[in-house]
A and B are shown apart, each in its own frame.
Chain A
Amino acid sequence: MLALSLLVFALSHKSGDPRTVMLTAYTSKEQWDAWGREWGLDKPLLQQYAIWLGRALRGDLGESLRELRPVGKVIAERIPATLELAGGAFAFSILIGVPLGVLSAVRRGGVLDYAGRTFALFGQALPPFWLGIMLILIFAVRFDWFPTSGRGNIAHYVLPSITLGWLTAAGMLRIMRSSMLEVLDSEYIKLARAKGVSYTSLVWKHALRNALLAPLTYAGLVLAGLITGAVVTETVFAWPGVGRLAVQSVNNNDFPAMTGVVLMFSLIYLGMNLLIDVAYALIDPRIRY
């Protein structure tokens, strides 16, 4: 985490003087120096980093150079949009990935299995930005069922959620399938079957619970995918979230905003990994910390 913050800070400083963003033909030398003092640009680099890190730890990420407001506020405003999008995508990938994965394991070699595996292969090979554009072309431009971009009522969520969740749904399906196959082959399932447990209950209660462990580990990777995906999806759909902020601040040389975004994403990432460990223990009582 610290290494990451150092890396980001070093890079953002190499990216050039942030004052050039504000520069106009009427900017005087005095004004230029005043900005330098105001943002601490006249101090040595290491000291700038120390100041920045100290502030960051207290939750103060500095001021966005483009919007001239605290970075924390700018990011906070955009977090809900990204979270909603990520939630939609996550729901999509669970709703598609888990049932299809289970079904394709249960009907191994059947039509459903074939369809599921084809979807998985397709899903992992489709470039997400292209999928988004094609979805817009087909369902928004040609059929006019959903809006093309922006955030608003429920219809706005459909296409971005599918775009973002597509890749993770495919991965989820694959993991779910292989994990389910493994569990269905185990002794306790045979015992349950011998005891006369109904088939539905056997698959959806007895087997699923154990088979869910593997996808849960995968959830960490899903999250990484969602973060990356958010940047792409929000760009394609003009979604007012954090991912778009990242692209915008890079284009505007707005390094306080950029560092803030990267730090925030990393924090979420670490936090979620912790949560996954906890969820692990909840599902599988054999694991104790």
Chain B
Amino acid sequence: MSNASVAIRNLPRFSLEWRTLRRWPLFPLFLVLVLVLCALAAPVIAPHDPIKGNLLESGMPPVWLEGGSSKYLLGTDIQGRDVLSRVIYGARISLLIAVVVIATGGAIGVTIGLIAGYFGGQLDEVLMRIVDFTLAVPFILIALVVVIVFGQSLEVLLTLLALFSWGAFSRQVRAETLSLKTRDYVAFARIAGASTSRIMIRHLLPGVINTVIIVATLRVGSLILTESILSFLGAGIPPPTPAWGLMVAEGRVYIDSEWWITLFPGVAIFLTVFAMNFLGDWLRDRFDPVLRQI
């Protein structure tokens, strides 16, 4: 141990910084940064309107293929819309969904997890049964039915995803709370006269926040994947909104000839989910090795 620290101290400063930096998942972080940038600045970055197309220029291949034009870097779809612009705007939808669902689902999940873990007893039983239910049902099937009943809209999709995503948070938070509440400092807080809500918010919540962040990061990937599946099946984002899953579905019929309509949104989904999963794994290994597969 002492040898190692001596060795590190002898290294030049730059090299030391480079070493710590290299342990960071740079490529996934870069991908997420690009995604956020695309989402926030879509109107500035995107070269064309994502919804209005020019039918005279429909089905044009990407710029590097014969017949491609530098006007449309990744080609155009059947309605003559720029694929690149649609992919960039698609980041907006995906990120919006991820942020809203994780925020609401996380808030509900943490609250319920804290309550279940802290009070225990029958309340805990009931709450955990509900969690089991939300995690055990074939979600895609339920989603299909719900979307057909209430119509295809962003609000319905968000509600649905939020309703079925808080369970994972609750489970982890409850488990953490169960062990935290037996700690001495919680007992001292109680003796000092702290109210139940104060104990939960000021003393237990900070203890579980690490877990919550890790679960959130791990969930984003599968959330974006689920959204794209629903959009693909025609039960997610309604057209003509540029959602990645929807774009894949629209391009599917023309896969023989105009494959680029399908390829690029799929790559976008893949890179996003890959980056988020990688970050989640990395966070988990770094901050909480005990937390295993969820």
Contacts and interface: CB of A to CB of B under 8 A. Distances in A.
Interface string B28-47: 00000000000000000000
Contact of B266 (A12, A134, A231, A265): A134
A122 interface: yes
Task: Classify the interface of chain B: helix, strand, loop or mixed.
Answer: helix
Interface stretch (A38-46, A48-56, A98-106, A245-253): A245-253
Interface of A: 3-4, 7-8, 11-12, 14-15, 121-122, 124-130, 133-134, 136-137, 141, 174-175, 178, 218, 224, 227-228, 231-232, 235-236, 246-247, 250-251, 253, 258, 261-262, 265-266, 269
Given A127-B248, A266-B138, A11 B149 contact: yes
B61 interface: no
Contacts of B149: 11-12, 14-15
A125 B141 contact: no
B262 interface: yes
Contacts of A129: 228-229, 232, 245, 248-249
Interface of B: 133, 136-142, 144-146, 148-150, 221, 225, 228-229, 232-235, 245, 248-249, 252, 255-256, 259, 262-263, 265-266, 269-271, 273-274, 277-278, 292-293
Task: Classify the interface of chain A: helix, strand, loop or mixed.
Answer: helix
B266 A258 contact: no
Q: Give the interface centre of A12, A175, A235 by most chain B CB atoms within 10 Å.
A: A235
A269 B225 contact: no
B142 A124 contact: no
B232 A15 contact: no
Given A228-B139, A266-B137, A269-B136, A126 B270 contact: yes
A137 B235 CA distance: 24
24 contacts: A3-B133, A121-B274, A122-B274, A124-B221, A124-B273, A125-B225, A127-B225, A127-B229, A127-B232, A130-B265, A130-B269, A133-B252, A134-B263, A136-B255, A137-B259, A141-B255, A175-B293, A178-B293, A224-B136, A227-B140, A228-B140, A250-B145, A251-B148, A265-B138
Contacts of B145: 8, 11-12, 15, 250, 258, 262
B141 A127 contact: no
A175 B294 CA distance: 11
A-B pairs with lowest CB-CB distance, top 9: A130-B266, A125-B274, A125-B273, A15-B149, A228-B140, A14-B149, A129-B232, A127-B269, A250-B144
Nearest to A132: B252
